[in-house]
Amino acid sequence: MTRRADSEKGASLLSVLVIVMLMSAAAVAATDALARSVSIAKSSGARSETFWTARSASDVAAAYLTKAMATTEGVLNAESDLIANPITLPAGHGLVVFQLREATNCFNLNALFEDKSGEAVGEGSLSAYRDLLVATGLNKAEAESLGEKLADWIDTDHSTRSYGAEDSYYASLSEPYRPANTRLRNISELKSIAGYDADVMERIDGLVCLRPGIDQSKLNINTLSEAGAPLLVALFSSELSDSDALSLIQSRPVGGWSSLDAFMEEPEVKKISPDALRDTAVSIASSFLAADIDIGTGDLVTSYQTLYARAESGTVSRVSMVRRDF
C-alpha cells in the first residue's frame, strides 16, 4: 500500500513538473513574442517618423534656400558657403543634414524638343547636343549618329532619320522592344538607345540631365567644374576650343567673375567672333540646386536626394522642390 502511494505521489510530482515546464516554455515564448512586437513597433514608429520628417525636411530646405538665395539674387560661386559646407538643422527627435550641389550646369535633354508639345526635336538644340558629344572626344560622325538615334527615341513620329533608329531596328534585336517616342523619364533610359554603350555613357556622365520644361538653363560660369568644360563649347560657342574652355575654368578668379562683362573680357572669349557667341547661355547665378539629405531619428538614418529650382517673378525669387528620390 505504501509502495503504491509513493508511486502515485511520484506520478503527480512528474505531472506537476511537466506542467511547470510547459508553462515556463509558454511564458518564454510569450515574452519573446512581446519583445519582438515592441521592437517592431519601435522600428515602425522610427520609420514612420523618418518618413514624415523626410517629407517636411525637403520643404524646410526649400524655405531655407529661398531665404539664403534671396540675399545673393541667386549668385553663387564654387567657394560659396551654401554649397561648400553641409547644413545641419534640428528635426523632431533627430537631425537633418543637407549637402547642396550645383545642378544648373548640364545639358537639359528635354530642351531638345521644339516646343512644349514634346512631339518634334528642334534642329538647333540637336546641333548643340552634337557639339557636346564632339567636345567629349567623339568624332563628328559618331556625334551625328548618337544625336539622331536619341531624336528618334524621343520624337513622336515613326520616321527613321538618316543615322537614327526606330521601331524596325529595335524589333529586330534578339530581345525586341520599342522606342519610347516620348520624353525621357530617367537618364539611365539612354542605355536602351542604340549606340549608347558604356563608353558613351561614361563620356556624358554629369554633362546631361533632365530638368522640368524644355528650357536650357544658363550655365553658371562661377560654379562650372573642369569636367563641365564641354558644356561651354556646346552652349556658349562652338568656336571655343576644348583647351580654351578648360583654361577659362582653371584660370577663374577666386570667388568667380564679378560680372558677365568681366568674363567676356577674357582673352579666350575675345578671340571668338561675335556671331558665334551665345552670351545668353551663361550667367553668374544658379537656377538649380541638388541636395543630398541625411535624416537621423534614433538609431535609424535615411538618405535621399532632392532637386530644387529657383524662379523669379518680378522682384520675388522663390526656390521650390521639383523632384525627390528616396
Q: Could you tell me which residue, 313 or 197, shows the higher pLDDT?
A: 197
Domain that holds residue 204: 109-209
- The verdict on residue 293 lying in a domain is no
- The verdict on residue 61 lying in a domain is no
The single residue listed with the C-alpha cell 531665404 is 67
Compute the average pLDDT of residues 175-189: 95
Residues 135-178 have pLDDT tens digits of 999 999 999 999 999 999 999 998 999 999 999 999 999 999 99
Residue type, 2: T
Residues 99-124 have pLDDT tens digits of 999 999 999 999 999 998 888 999 99
- Contact 175/137 with Cβ under 8 angstroms? no
Strands (E), the chain: 87-91, 94-102, 107-108, 208-209, 219-220, 282-283, 288-297, 300-313, 316-325
- The verdict on residue 97 lying in a domain is no
- The verdict on residue 44 lying in a domain is no
pLDDT at 60: 81
Return d(Cα 113, Cα 214) in angstroms, integer: 6
Q: Does the pLDDT value for residue 54 go beyond 90?
A: no
- The verdict on residue 199 lying in a domain is yes
Residue type, 68: A
Residues 61-93 have pLDDT tens digits of 888 899 988 888 899 999 999 998 998 877 767
Total domains in the fold of the chain: 1
Compute the average pLDDT of residues 269-283: 95
Residue type, 54: A
According to DSSP, the residues that pair with 292 across neighbouring strands are 99, 305
- The verdict on residue 157 lying in a domain is yes
The domain that holds 171 is classified in CATH as 1.10.40.60
Burial 191-215 (b: 16+ CB within 10 A, else e): eebbbbeeebeebbeebbbbbeebe
HSE toward the beta carbon, residue 314, CA cutoff 13 A: 1
Compute the average pLDDT of residues 171-199: 96
- The verdict on residue 188 lying in a domain is yes
Compute the average pLDDT of residues 261-286: 95
- The verdict on residue 316 lying in a domain is no
